[in-house]
Amino acid sequence: MDGKTVIITGANTGIGKVTARDMAERGARVILACRSLEKAEQAAKDIRSQTGNENVIVHKLDLASLTSVRQFAKVINEAEPRLDVLINNAGVMGCPRWVTEDGFEMQFGVNHLGHFLLTNLLLDKLKQSAPSRVVTVSSLAHVFTTGLDFDDIKYEKDYDPAESYKRSKLANVLFSRELARRLKGTGVTSNSLHPGVIYTEIHRQQEERLREALGERLSRVANKIIEGFVGIIGKTWEEGAQTTICCAVAEEWENTTGLYFSDCVPKETSAAGMDDKAAAQLWDISEKMVGLKS
């Protein structure tokens, strides 16, 4: 990866940070795109110290703000001569019906719309740097929903945090698939992936909801049960990052595009995840929602 530039969203912790460290170890220029500059600077400091690669930098990116996404993309397009890999890693999970700065339901807004706009604004740079790759971190959760509700894309009716997360992860798969179709022949590939069940991330984002629903004492018991279960079937951050890393650097997948990966190999997705009509419809409505098309 010497001489190559990699952007990773949400790279200050978890599999994002592990991925960033791996890219730095390979000699890449690594850009941590994060909402918290303080946490990102600490992560960058850790990565520089661990790898000896000083070419690890930080820029602010809040995916819950389309203005922030545009500002970040402007900085990258003006300052960076190339972009070889874009890793759409950041995400939120299981939150109440919060809304983004622009009024979108938070999980769909951050997990899909923010990355949709970011990727589109960086496409010219990716094409200029081809062969290049877009890697979008989805989740196996996407197979547990029957599809997107285009009549209620903002999820204003009967909101269910778990269902919203599943739909946002399905949106990742469909976006990646449609992006691959649109980029055919450009030298830019697009793939999505399931990193595995990772206990720490699930715990961090669910603990507060359990406390609110069950109270302090019962929530501690519930969290211990979840911790034990996921500890059996789950992965460490290092293990969870491997499929992202594989999609970003593996030579054997250099020309592979439009697929969904798990455990470093292509896997079948759900029927909803292969719905090309829905993928095209999602693209069209997303363009309008983020202001790329009126």
**pLDDT one-digit tens code per residue, 20-77:** 999 999 999 999 999 999 999 999 999 999 999 999 999 999 999 999 999 999 999 9
Residues 143 and 63 in one domain: yes
- Three-state DSSP state, 133: strand
pLDDT in the model for residue 271: 96
Residues 76 and 212 in one domain: no
- 165 noted as active-site residue: yes
Read off the pLDDT of residues 147-180 as tens digits, 9 standing for 90 and up. 999 999 999 999 999 999 999 999 999 999 999 9
Supply the range of the domain harboring residue 151: 5-196+239-290
pLDDT in the model for residue 134: 99
> What total of structural domains would you count in the chain?
2
Residues 274 and 213 in one domain: no
Residues 16 and 158 in one domain: yes
Q: Which of 155, 165, 199, 260 is catalytic?
A: 165
Q: What is the Cα–Cα distance from 20 to 24, expressed in whole angstroms?
A: 6
Residues 43 and 102 in one domain: yes
Residues 99 and 117 in one domain: yes
**Helix ranges restricted to H, 144-275:** 161-182, 199-214, 216-233, 237-249
- Report the amino acid identity of residue 114: G
> Using an 8 Å Cβ cutoff, are 255 and 191 in contact?
no
Residues 179 and 88 in one domain: yes
> Using an 8 Å Cβ cutoff, are 33 and 8 in contact?
yes
Residues 216 and 265 in one domain: no
CATH number of residue 248's parent domain: 3.40.50.720
pLDDT in the model for residue 192: 98
Calculate the alpha carbon distances from 120 to 107, 146, 158, 256, 290 in Å. 19, 27, 31, 20, 10
Residues 158 and 220 in one domain: no
- Give me the mean pLDDT over the 102-120 stretch: 98
pLDDT in the model for residue 240: 75
Residue 222's pLDDT band (boundaries 50, 70, 90)?
Answer: very low
